[in-house]
Structure 1
Amino acid sequence: MTGADNPTPELAAALAAMHARAFNDPWPVSAFVALLSLPEARLEVAADGFILTRLAADEAEILTLAVCPAARRRGLGRRLVETAAAALAAEGATRLFLEVAEDNAAARALYAGAGFASVGRRPGYYGRPAGAVDALVLARDLAAPDGMAI
């Protein structure tokens, strides 16, 4: 689904509710309304998760990937990433970026397994009760035949 598909408030509310189950610091419904209204937004939804991306020229970004806790470690996150990557590549994206908290070992393992590699760092990007944590900027080459990171 693209942002131009005119998402409903009910969809935004459902995504916000799923995001709240997946994250300690969830996005509000208004964030999903705003993002989904962008023509460059792309959304892939499954029963227990979703991935929201943004396409700009030949580069794309994963804005968020949410998988409900009960559905984790069953391959859903990887399937959502691969589905989104294929759709974005079909639209002309050659690189896919994302930011992940340095302390999020599960997400880092998922992205490493999906062919992403570190290309940068944003110091203190994620707030935590014990202090800010760096974000790792990861990228994957969508134009390479093997889909490996750049």
Structure 2
Amino acid sequence: MSVTIRPAEKSDVLAVAQLIEEIERFYGSTEIQPFEERQAQVEEALFGAPPLASALLVEDEAGDIVGLAAYSYLWPSAGSTHSLYLKELYVRDTLRRQGIGARLMNELRAIADARPGCSRVEWTTDRDNPAARSFYQDLGFAEFDGKVVYRVNSSTA
């Protein structure tokens, strides 16, 4: 199957909101956010002033959105440079193992390389996700051992 990888556009908000629900279910969530709320948050995140994130979308031959790579920039990174931080990489299960994820990773590297001052691409995956870890290792990416991730929920979310 042929797919197109392209930046998200404002007209994609509905499809991205639908895909986010699919991603939530993939990760085992049983409490799904109301659709209208999710749609508003997608629009604010990708197209607010200023946008909080960017996304590359995977569009199939029928025009359906079947994958995404959501990312933003972090500063500082190495010295005073910044990094492209990949928050979510997702390809619909029926299209996995066809090189689409690898294409998304290559596109992200090209975006980082084209941005002055961007010194690297960074991301995390769960230690108990052997499929994701294998995917990244197969692409030649080494695991970085040394960071511990902390998280606290906002009282306003």
**What is the TM-score normalised by the length of structure 1?**
0.65
How far is 1:101 from its partner? 1.3
Counterpart of 1:49 in 2: which secondary structure? strand
CA distance in 2, matches of 1:117, 1:39: 30
Please say which structure displays the higher CA radius of gyration.
2
Matched, 1:34 2:44: yes
How far is 1:11 from its partner? 1.5
Counterpart of 1:11 in 2: which secondary structure? helix
CA distance in 1, matches of 2:42, 2:142: 25
**Higher normalized strand content (fraction of residues):** 1
Match in the other structure for 2:129: 104
8 Å CA contact retained: 1:42, 1:55: no
Alignment of 1:57-96 (within 5 A): 57-92=81-116, 93-96=118-121
Gaps of 5+ in 2: 1-5, 60-65, 75-80, 152-157
CA distance in 2, matches of 1:116, 1:41: 25
Matched, 1:121 2:139: no
Alignment of 1:1-20 (within 5 A): 7-8=9-10, 10-20=11-21
Gaps of 5+ in 1: 126-150
**What is the TM-score normalised by the length of structure 2?**
0.63
Runs of 4+ residues over 6 Å off in structure 1: none
The alignment-based identity, stated in percent, is 20
Q: Deviations over 1:79-109 (max 9, x none)?
A: 1111111112111321111121111111112
8 Å CA contact retained: 1:43, 1:51: yes
